[in-house]
């Protein structure tokens, strides 16, 4: 499956894998890497449409809140549930 999309397009409860970064938001890539959001990591969308467009995800047993630009800086791919 090769369906790159924005984390903002995923539904709450969706599991996805980080597959890349958007160059338009290149200044945010370093922040994402420091927070553990590296290519190949899986996460689950917990909440969307929080104040100011934030997104809350669960990554490796920790909850991370992403700002709107951070969320748009990620390319993700939904994980097939088999």
Tell me the per-residue pLDDT of 68-77, one tens digit each, with 9 for 90 and over.
889 989 999 9
Percent of the chain with pLDDT over 70: 93
Ordered DSSP codes for 12-81: TT-EEEEEEE-GGGGGGHHHHHHTT--TT-EEEEEE-S-GGG-EEEEETTEEEEEPHHHHHTEEEEEPPP
Q: Nearest CA to 71 among 34, 31, 42, 41?
A: 31
pLDDT digits (tens, 9 = 90+) for 16-33: 999 999 877 768 888 899
Residues belonging to the chain: 82
Q: Which pTM does this prediction carry? A: 0.86
Domain 5-78 has CATH 3.40.50.2000: no
């Amino acid at each position: 499956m090769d369906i790159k999309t924005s984390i903002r397009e995923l539904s709450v409860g969706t599991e996805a894998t980080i597959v890349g970064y958007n160059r338009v938001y290149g200044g945010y890539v370093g922040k994402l890497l420091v927070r553990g959001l590296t290519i190949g990591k899986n996460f689950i969308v917990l909440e969307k449409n929080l104040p100011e467009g934030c997104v809350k995800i669960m990554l490796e047993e920790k909850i991370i809140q992403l700002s709107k630009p951070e969320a748009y800086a990620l390319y993700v791919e939904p994980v097939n549930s088999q």
